[in-house]
Structures are given as structure tokens and as C-alpha cells.
Structure 1
Amino acid sequence: MARAGAENAEPMRTACALAGSKLLKKPDQARAVALCAHLFWKPPAQQYPLNDASRALDCLKKAARVAQQCMDGGVQAQLLAELLGRYALLRERGNASITTALIEAIIQKIREELANLDQSEEVEQITKHFHNTLQHIKNRIECPDPEALGYEGLVLS
């Protein structure tokens, strides 16, 4: 029975990711493909036999590439800030393919994008979201969850 579930799940997960990547607007594509990462990784990792760490990571990387294709810097920064939260969530849920180096790279890219934007209410909201996510990660570094994958070696300077 479990084998049949796995055989049915794989084409469905792949089809969802493919459909998400074909949406008309780039921001919608990025969000849809990022959400598909959760189809490939569910907590707790040891109890979900269909977990595929590399496919979940592939979805997040594709979403990041699509986000960076957006011409509007504010939209790009917003999408990357949303992606940072997804990277952090899947890492905390045990996906070791999501390394601290990847998280640092996204943090750096968000900082670069925010520095290039003129101040506005939208940019303030993006900045607040970004800082809230950084605060969450900092809290996890200071008070690690023994059942979650931590952020050893991550530098938040």
C-alpha cells in the first residue's frame, strides 16, 4: 500500500512544480515553485518516507532564480525575503541539503537588493519581514531546538 502511495505521489508532486513554473507572472511562478518544496519535504523527516531533500532544494533554488528575473527591485526583494523564510523552515524541519552557506547567500542578496531601493512604505514592509525572519533565525541560534536542524556556522553580521 505504501508503495502505491509513493508511485502516485511522485508524478503529482512533479506535475505541481511544473505547473507552478508555467504561471504567467514571475512572482506567481516563484511563490508557487517555492511552495512545491514543501511537497518534497515534510516533518518529521524520519517518519515521512517520501522526503526528497534534493528535490525540495531544487524547488527553492528555482524559485530564487525566477525571483531574480523580476525587473522590479522591490518585488525581487520581497520574493527573496519570503524565500528566506522557506529555506529556514525546511532547514529547521531537518533538510540538511539547505546549508547555512545557502542561507547566508540569500541574506546577502536581500541586503544588496534593499540597499538599492528608495525608501517607501513597501520597502519598509519588506525590511520588517526580512528583519523578523533574521530575528527568528537568531533566536534559533541562541536557543536551539533539540529536535530541529540548527544553524551551526551561520554568520548574521
Structure 2
Amino acid sequence: ATCARTLRQVAAYAAERGITLGLEPVNRYETYLFNTIADTVALIDEIGASNVTVHADTYHMNIEDPGFKPSLEVARGKLGLIHCSESDRGVPGQGNVQWDEVFQGLRAIAYDGPLVLESFAAINPDLAGATCMWRTPSYTSDQLAREGMAFLRERAAAAGIA
């Protein structure tokens, strides 16, 4: 209740300035406020402001949500942004995220917002520590960007949401 009340005030302040807020559900190992897409949609409904959206992240969804497609369907009309991140934060398509299901879900809700590649390479010690990257990845930053974007563009086009 306190979270919703506070975010309602933040949403009103943001709305006066033409700003949309995106609430990102984060896995239980990092926070406890809202961990799933369904939790986030319920919170957004409680806030009751049209400028508050779901900011999905496939990394966290892979840990917390019961499935990519059904969870994205819960966010229908409320999904503002999606971080496309692999299960190990590496190159999309080289981990355990079920990308076909992700893109089926996005297509099912007629999502036309941005697809944001969010992956990490251990090039900055502060970022590596903040993201708990304790080992050196097998890919470079350039490889991550090049291969990750190519993969996401191909999958988006195949799903008809490019």
C-alpha cells in the first residue's frame, strides 16, 4: 500500500511533465516489492495512473515468471518497454531464454514498443561488481552488440513485430 501510494504521487508529478514511468519487476534475489509481470500489473492497477507501464526484462522473467508468453499477455496494454537479456546476461540466443515464446507473447499483445538489448560484458570493474559478473565472459562487447542485435532483429522480423 505504501509503495502504491508513493508511486501514485511520483506518477502525478511525472505526468505533469509528460513523463511515462516504467516499473521493472526484478527477481527475488535482488528485491521483494514486485517480482513478476503479474505483480507489476497489479501494482500498476493499484496506482491507477495511465503514465505507469510495465518495463519487462527477460532475464528476470526467466527466474520469476511462469512463462514468457502468458506473462507478456498479462501485460497487454501496459507494456512500455522490454529488456531483451539472456539468462546469463550474455549474447541473446546463446542461453536458456525461450526466445520463440518471448516473441510469440509480444506478437500476441501487438507490442510495437522498443526492444532493448540489455547484456553485460566485464569491461568495467564497477559494473561487473554491480551486476555480479565474477567471471570473464567468452564474448567481447562488440561481439555481444553485433550478434545480440542481429539475433533480436531476425527474431522480431520472423515474429512480424519488426
Q: TM-score range by the shorter chain?
A: 0.3 to 0.5
> Of Structure 1 and Structure 2, which has the larger fraction of its residues in strand?
2
